[in-house]
Amino acid sequence: MGVGILVEDLNAWYGTTHTLQDINLHIPANHATALIGPSGCGKSTFVRCLNRMHETNPIARATGIVKMGDIDIYNDASPVEIRRRVGMVFQRPNPFPTMSIYDNVVSGLKLNGFRNRRILDETVERSLKQAALWEEVKDDLKKKSGASLSGGQQQRMCIARALAVDPEVLLMDEPASALDPVSTSKIEDLIFQLKSQYTIVIVTHNMQQAARVAENTGFFLNGKMVEFDSTHKIFTNPRDKRTEDYITGRFG
């Protein structure tokens, strides 16, 4: 089961650029939340702040409070502990090319020293089924390299890799933007099924995608969150003029 995320006064910088300004937001547990907005508006930075990946860049820093369940992730825990509980899927599929499909999926468990073969086998099957990839790869799990799959399959394998550690939150940074329409719809179906068990935050350029998969949607512009509401409200009756301009395609 997932946990909710509470964000209070989150600010983030890259060098001297103030990329996120005073973000306040409640992301409910076991729902999918979409973040939309034009390029460079800060939505990727925002999700990277949720698992403290933002600070892996030496010139980046962040202030504010992010609570995941009961834990204040910036004060109560180390980044490593947080990232074990938060899965992340990136814009471009990034499989480990030197590992088999099997090893790719369980890499998160293996690097933490998990060695029980039976549970590893079960985890591979479970997470590949969750990622709707099991049928396509079950015969050459250990024979084929993770990089030998097609782009869409690689991305689903990366989702399986993130799910294998049984995270409470799943962050997806434009997970389908590098994929063809068929793979994209598979990934959307996946998000639809997964959101009952995980808290999902998905960044997307594609407004239809947000409308299809998410209950709630936040609109980001120039480092600020302009509006956050139920997806239905955002797309039919937004409060803010800028949101309306964006979703009707007047800019962005």
By CB under 8 A, name the binding residues for other proteins. 51, 53, 56, 58, 80-88, 90, 92, 94-100, 107-108, 111-112, 145, 147-148, 158, 161-162, 165
Closest distance between other proteins and the C-beta of residue 177, in Å? 14
What is the rounded distance in angstroms from the CA atom of residue 150 to the CA atom of residue 50?
29
- Beta carbon of residue 117, minimum distance to other proteins (angstroms, whole number): 19
Cβ 183 to other proteins shortest distance, Å: 16
Q: Closer CB to other proteins, residue 2 or residue 87?
A: 87
Q: Which residue lies nearer to other proteins by CB, 162 or 211?
A: 162
Give the chain's radius of gyration (CA, Å): 18
When the beta carbons of 27 and 164 are compared against other proteins, the nearer one is 164
For the record, the structure tokens of 49 come out as 């702040």
As given in the structure block, the two tokens for residue 150 are 């097609």
- State which residue, 151 or 250, has the beta carbon closest to other proteins: 151
Least Å distance, CB 5 to other proteins, is 16
Whichever of 55 and 215 has its CB closer to other proteins, that residue is 55
Q: Residue 202 is which amino acid?
A: I
Nearest to 214 by CA among 225, 236, 229, 197: 229
Cβ closer to other proteins: 140 or 215? 140
The nearest distance, CB 174 to other proteins, in angstroms, is 13
d(CA 223, CA 241): 17
Instruction: Please state the closest distance from residue 91 (CB atom) to other proteins, in A.
Output: 9
Q: Are 224 and 21 in contact (CB under 8 A)?
A: yes
Alpha-helix residue ranges (DSSP H) falling in the chain: 43-50, 79-85, 101-111, 117-130, 134-137, 151-164, 181-194, 207-213, 231-236, 241-247
Instruction: Tell me the angle at which helices 117-130 and 151-164 cross, rounded to the nearest 10 degrees.
Output: 130
